[in-house]
Copies of this chain bind each other. A is one copy, B any other.
Amino acid sequence: MENQQNNRVEETTQEKFPLNEELTQEIVKEIQTLQEKGDREGAMAVFSDLHPADQGEVMEALSIETQQEILTTLPPHEAAEILKHLEPENVAKVSEGVDSSVLSDILKEADSDVSADILKQLPEQQSKDVLAAMEETEDVVSLLQYPDDSAGGIMVLEFVAVNVDMTAAAALDALRLREPEVEDIRSVFVVNDEARLVGSLSVTRLALARLATPVSDILDPEILFVSSDTDQEECARVMERYSLDQLPVVDNEKRLIGVILSEDILGVVNEEATEDMYKLAGIGGEKVFGPLKTSIRNRFPWLSINLATTFLAALVISLFESTIARMVTLAAFLPVVAGQGGIGGTQTLTLVTRSMALGEISRRGGIRILSREILLGLIHGIFLGITVGLVAYIWKGSYMLGVVLGIAMLGNMLIAGLSGAGIPLVMARLRTDPAVASAVIVTTCTDVAGFLLFLGLAAALVNFL
């Protein structure tokens, strides 16, 4: 008997986990092949074997009709588990063909934050129908009010609050009432008679306490919390800084209304990092396999703005056509000074905007960063200036050309440091997102300054070149 039990346990410990992108695609193919052969049961069996997170991934690769079939065929609580791992927009698209009563059965079983995200994406009439068919919808309805990227939008309602005057036994009973929904919680929250948060109590400590122990004797009163309108990026920062596995969310009256879990915030951290990275490169919320239209809509504006700035650079060069005509070799060196400035500016810009996003820069740190980056520009400029001057002299044999190039390089590296650090700092002061437009401004600065410095000096000294 005992042996058998052990076997059962070992067998069900899945060895396939974790799936990667490649395995997922193989499983998608397997299911599609079975479907084409008409073996619906076989396809469903392969699907059912997977972890809900993988089921979500696989589902999104299947046709809308198949997705609808899966959602309607599965028991509601299993379908609900999958929903957590699907993009809400995708669920909304699939749901349009699913009966409202079926959908409400599934959403009833899903976590309240998942249901709320999906309801927000549904067409208005369907959303109303589904809500009407669900019972006890206050929870979900209360979540519908929060923006997606706020603490309210990412918190869950699966928490347990106990009164500070209770005993451990009563707190355990309160926990029991909510099982199995709250099986994964680590702490119960402690509130006073006005429902205000006063502390937390780890489930381990509660489990080990004598039943008659007052909760007030064993709670941890040092508790961090955020309000429902706190930005999700700030929530992630607090949780990382204080190593929190959960972060309670309170309303204006400091009454507990939800909790953010660290496993949910992981997605937020990745999402925010991706967003910042893409903004710097001038792409928006697109996916590598997403629709072409989205990519064009995201990239084209940036490409157009950049085109305008390169014409500005062209205009600058154009002013010096007579100088270039006298010494055509100048044209060859045009990309050198501007290009190096662009690289240097991007280095500084990337460091400064990322440090801002990670909360490492205070408002007062600006001057220090600016002077540090200008100093770096000076050092790099001296080295690069000497190198570029020597190469040009050796290559073209003009001593003066080397001097002009070297000085222009030094000047442009200073501009790179100044604009790379200064522009995001100014943007932040103006309370606009420094990641968005900084890159185009910085490269315009280094391009225009690079051409002006190089050609301006050359024009002044053309008789000596």
Contact = CB atoms under 8 A, between A and B. Distances in A.
Interface in A225-249: 226, 236-245
A195 interface: no
Interface string A176-202: 100110111110001011001111001
A380 interface: yes
Q: At the interface, is chain A mostly helix, strand, loop or mixed?
A: helix
B343 A289 contact: no
Kindly state the interface size class of chain A when it binds its partner: 35 or more
**Most chain B CB inside 10 Å of its own CB: which residue of A239, A269, A321, A387:** A269
B238 A340 contact: no
Contacts of A334: 317, 331, 334-335
A2 B214 CA distance: 11
Contacts of A380: 296, 299-300, 303
Contacts of A164: 5-6, 9
Nearest to A165: B2
A221 B307 contact: no
B84 A243 contact: yes
A292 B372 contact: yes
Given A204-B175, A332-B317, A263 B289 contact: no
Contacts of A262: 245, 261-263, 266
Contacts of A190: 9
A359 interface: yes
Contacts of A375: 292
A205 interface: yes
Contacts of A202: 183-184
A63 interface: no
Contact of A306 (B221, B237, B339): B339
Contacts of A8: 221
A362 B184 contact: no
A464 interface: no
B299 A346 contact: no
Contacts of A74: none
Interface in A289-344: 289, 292, 295-296, 299-300, 302-304, 306-307, 310-311, 313-315, 317-318, 321, 324-325, 328-336, 338-340, 343-344
Contacts of A273: 269-270, 273-274, 277
A350 B313 contact: no
A238 B19 CA distance: 9
A124 interface: no
A62 interface: no
Contacts of A460: none
A338 B296 CA distance: 20
A186 to B, nearest CB: 4
A369 interface: yes
Contacts of A46: none
B282 A343 contact: yes
Contact of A278 (B207, B224, B281, B351): B351
Contacts of A330: 331
A277 to B, nearest CB: 5
Interface stretch (A20-28, A33-41, A92-100): A20-28
A349 B243 CA distance: 34
A412 to B, nearest CB: 12
A365 B21 contact: yes
A267 B240 contact: yes
A452 interface: no
Q: Which 8 A-B pairs have the closest CB atoms?
A: A273-B273, A207-B207, A281-B350, A21-B362, A288-B355, A262-B262, A318-B332, A12-B221
Interface of A: 2, 5-6, 8-10, 12-14, 17-18, 20-22, 24-25, 51, 53, 84, 164-165, 172, 175-176, 179-180, 182-186, 190, 192-193, 196-199, 202-208, 216, 219, 221-224, 226, 236-245, 261-267, 269-270, 273-274, 276-278, 280-283, 286-289, 292, 295-296, 299-300, 302-304, 306-307, 310-311, 313-315, 317-318, 321, 324-325, 328-336, 338-340, 343-344, 346-347, 349-352, 354-355, 358-365, 368-369, 372, 375-376, 379-380, 383-384, 387-388, 391, 447, 451
